[in-house]
């Protein structure tokens, strides 16, 4: 979070101050990119760039604080992901429908990478293996730093549903990690 | 497409312990993890691996993740040059740099595939859009237009990335009907026809994002369309753009949870600032 300096920074960015916008971008870009690595891994970089084009276009009309800004950026991001999925579903050359991507096993063993190497990409790959709605909610909460109510608005679900999905997702991840039999040595 | 359609229902019940059986303290731990407040080193037994996973997922940015900065900044400069936020009236502000050749190609696809409807919908001749658009909605044309245009727009996501957001103006005027113009009646009819049914996908489509933009947010569409039906039309709408409520409640329909009618499953925030020209009286009227 940028904190108390956010309003000034936003105002500067809205007044065409490139450096100010760069600060906003650096603050959020990693989270946006990681969100896409969970929900649309094949196109993450492109979708993140598309998201920023949209954000730039709407920046001048944005009003709100930092939390609202984050929520807005992720709202835009989610729409890019939905567009992409829709497009992927139409693409005949796509041998694996986007909806099923999460069921594909990761090429390597991401659990070992996470536990041993603290690999961000591996961790995201594990989250991406969750059922899509769980993966998205976990991504928005953990990566986006968004609260339950904010996520609920973004995904158009009830806050209670969002909470349950996030908990299920985390528990599934925990079981996945434990089932790998690596947990004992690492956590105890 | 509803959200459930988009991301799939949870077909997989949790393995093992059901939600109700999870003790409150475990739920607390999960919340701490979700909020990044749990240090792996002090995670309770059974949560160490998960805490490490979360820590890895939220590790500090890598240089690779920030590698695109120069590209994004170039986009920023270009957009600001062609679309100074405070000087250009909203309706005429088209971020031309954002409206790239790819977007132009998308618009062309729309024109080629949809003929007159798309031509009218390109917004090049906004005042002439209405007869065609309305005629189109008389049949299922508007839907076809919406979907077709949506396809055209998503075929290029570089330029039309703006879908639903403000650069969206470039996009909306390029490939989507100008919903605040005379095409509004047709869009409204199509929207009303879709209420309660395939609402989600309608809200996502390019055409309906134009409507969202014209209405000043998805939450306002019903009221907006009533106005349209009552014949008050675009003029009333433009007045409403300057109304204080939308000014005080920023484009971020995301922000105030209380402002969202529970009945509206649409992604109002999607249009955010973009679609929310109406929410920015300071820049448009001041």
Q: What is the pLDDT of residues B20-32, one digit of tens each?
A: 567 888 888 999 9
pLDDT, residue B100, reads 53
For B125, the 3-state DSSP assignment is coil
Could A86 and B154 be called an inter-chain contact, meaning their C-beta atoms sit closer than 8 Å?
yes
Q: Count CB-CB contacts under 10 A for residue B255.
A: 23
Most confident region among A122-126, A155-159, B141-145 by mean pLDDT: A155-159
Could A120 and B274 be called an inter-chain contact, meaning their C-beta atoms sit closer than 8 Å?
no
Q: Count CB-CB contacts under 10 A for residue B106.
A: 27
Confirm if A173 and B24 have CB atoms less than 8 A apart: no
H helices of chain A, in order, are 6-14, 18-39, 44-59, 66-90, 110-112, 120-128, 132-138, 148-155, 159-179, 183-187
- DSSP states of A7-42 as a string? HHHHHHHHTT-HHHHHHHHHHHHHHHHHHHHHH-GG
Cα separations in angstroms, A109 against A177, A178, A182, B58: 11, 13, 11, 19
Own/partner contacts of B122-126, CB < 8 Å, gap of 24 or more, are B122/B173, B122/B174, B122/B175, B123/B172, B123/B173, B123/B174, B123/B176, B123/B177, B123/B178, B123/B181, B126/B173, B126/B178, B126/B181, B126/B182, B126/B183
pLDDT, mean of residues A47-59:
96
Contact list, B158 vs chain A (CB under 8 Å):
46, 49-50, 53
Residue B10 pLDDT exceeds 70: no
Is B154 an interface residue toward A (CB < 8 Å)? yes
Give the minimum alpha-carbon distance from B252 to chain A in angstroms, rounded to a whole number.
6
Could B277 and A138 be called an inter-chain contact, meaning their C-beta atoms sit closer than 8 Å?
no
Could A171 and B17 be called an inter-chain contact, meaning their C-beta atoms sit closer than 8 Å?
yes
How long, in residues, is chain A?
188
Pick the CATH number of A105-188 from 1.10.287.1260, 3.40.1180.10, 1.10.10.10, 3.30.365.10: 1.10.10.10
Could A82 and B1 be called an inter-chain contact, meaning their C-beta atoms sit closer than 8 Å?
yes
Q: To the nearest whole number, what is the mean pLDDT of chain B?
A: 55
Of A58, A142, A171, the CB nearest to B166: A58
Is B115 an interface residue toward A (CB < 8 Å)? no
| Structural domain spans, chain A | 1-103, 105-188
Is B242 an interface residue toward A (CB < 8 Å)? no
Most confident region among A117-121, A132-136, B164-168 by mean pLDDT: A132-136
Percentage of chain B lying above the pLDDT 90 cut: 12
Give the minimum alpha-carbon distance from B136 to chain A in angstroms, rounded to a whole number.
24
Distance between CA atoms of A123 and B57, rounded to whole angstroms?
A: 5
pLDDT, residue B85, reads 53
Own/partner contacts of B235-238, CB < 8 Å, gap of 24 or more, are B237/B180, B237/B184, B237/B278, B238/B180
CA nearest A182 in B: which residue? B49
Specify the pTM: 0.54
Could B165 and A76 be called an inter-chain contact, meaning their C-beta atoms sit closer than 8 Å?
yes
Q: Show the beta-strand stretches assigned E in B47-95.
A: none
3-state helix, strand, coil split of chain B in percent (to 5) is: 65, 0, 35
Q: Give the burial string for B216-246 (b: 16+ CB within 10 Å, else e).
A: bbbbbbbebbebbeeeebbeebeebbeeeeb
- The residues near A65 (Cβ < 8 Å, ≥ 6 apart) are A6, A7, B255
Model confidence band, residue B125 (pLDDT cutoffs 50, 70, 90): very low
Residue A146 pLDDT exceeds 80: yes
Please choose, from the candidates B63, B64, B262, B171, the residue with its C-alpha nearest in 3D space to the C-alpha of residue A80. B171
Angle at alpha carbon of residue B108, lines to B105 and B111, rounded to 5°: 160
Question: A82-86, A89-93, B47-51, B82-86: lowest mean pLDDT where?
Answer: B82-86
Could B56 and A182 be called an inter-chain contact, meaning their C-beta atoms sit closer than 8 Å?
no
How long, in residues, is chain B?
286
pLDDT, residue B45, reads 85
Which CATH fold would you assign to the domain A1-103?
A: Rna Polymerase Sigma Factor; Chain: A (1.10.1740)
Environment class of residue B45 by beta-carbon count within 10 Å: exposed (0-12), middle (13-18) or buried (19+)?
Answer: exposed
Confirm if B280 and A61 have CB atoms less than 8 A apart: yes
Could A56 and B59 be called an inter-chain contact, meaning their C-beta atoms sit closer than 8 Å?
no
């Amino acid at each position: 979070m940028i904190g108390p300096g956010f309003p000034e920074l936003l105002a500067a960015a809205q007044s065409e101050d490139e450096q100010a916008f760069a600060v906003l971008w650096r603050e959020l870009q990693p989270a946006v990119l990681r969100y896409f690595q969970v929900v649309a891994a094949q196109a993450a970089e492109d979708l993140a760039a598309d998201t920023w084009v949209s954000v730039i276009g709407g920046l001048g009309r944005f009003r709100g604080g930092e939390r609202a800004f984050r929520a807005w950026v992720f709202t835009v991001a989610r729409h890019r992901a939905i567009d992409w999925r829709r497009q992927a579903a139409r693409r005949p050359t796509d041998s694996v429908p986007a909806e099923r991507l999460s069921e594909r096993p990761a090429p390597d063993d991401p659990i070992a990478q996470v536990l041993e190497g603290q690999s961000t990409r591996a961790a995201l790959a594990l989250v991406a293996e969750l059922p899509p709605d769980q993966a998205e909610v976990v991504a928005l909460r953990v990566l986006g730093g968004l609260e339950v109510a904010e996520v609920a608005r973004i995904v158009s679900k009830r806050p209670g549903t969002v909470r349950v999905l996030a908990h299920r997702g985390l528990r599934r991840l925990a079981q996945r990690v434990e089932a790998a039999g690596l947990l004992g040595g690492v956590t105890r | 497409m509803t959200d459930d359609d988009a991301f799939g229902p949870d077909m997989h019940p949790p393995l093992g312990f059901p939600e109700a059986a999870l003790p409150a303290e475990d739920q607390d731990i999960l919340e701490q993890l979700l909020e990044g407040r749990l240090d792996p080193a002090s995670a309770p037994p059974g949560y160490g691996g998960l805490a490490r996973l979360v820590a890895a997922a939220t590790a500090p940015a890598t240089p690779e993740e920030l590698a695109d900065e120069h590209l994004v900044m170039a986009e920023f400069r270009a957009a600001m040059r062609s679309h100074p936020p405070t000087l250009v009236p909203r309706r005429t502000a088209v971020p031309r740099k954002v409206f790239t050749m790819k977007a132009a190609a998308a618009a062309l696809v729309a024109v080629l595939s949809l003929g007159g409807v798309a031509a009218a919908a390109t917004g090049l001749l906004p005042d002439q859009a209405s007869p065609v658009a309305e005629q189109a909605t008389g049949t299922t044309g508007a839907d076809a237009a919406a979907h077709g245009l949506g396809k055209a727009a998503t075929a290029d996501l570089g330029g039309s990335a703006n879908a639903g957001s403000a650069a969206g103006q470039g996009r909306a005027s390029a490939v989507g009907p100008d919903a605040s113009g005379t095409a509004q009646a047709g869009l409204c009819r199509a929207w009303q026809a879709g209420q309660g049914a395939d609402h989600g996908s309608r809200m996502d489509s390019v055409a309906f994002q134009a409507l969202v933009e014209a209405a000043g947010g998805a939450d306002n569409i019903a009221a907006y369309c009533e106005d349209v039906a009552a014949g008050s039309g675009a003029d009333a709408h433009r007045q409403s753009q300057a109304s204080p409520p939308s000014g005080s409640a920023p484009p971020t329909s995301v922000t105030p949870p209380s402002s969202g009618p529970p009945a509206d499953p649409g992604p109002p925030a999607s249009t955010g600032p973009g679609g929310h020209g109406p929410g920015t009286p300071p820049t448009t009227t001041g």
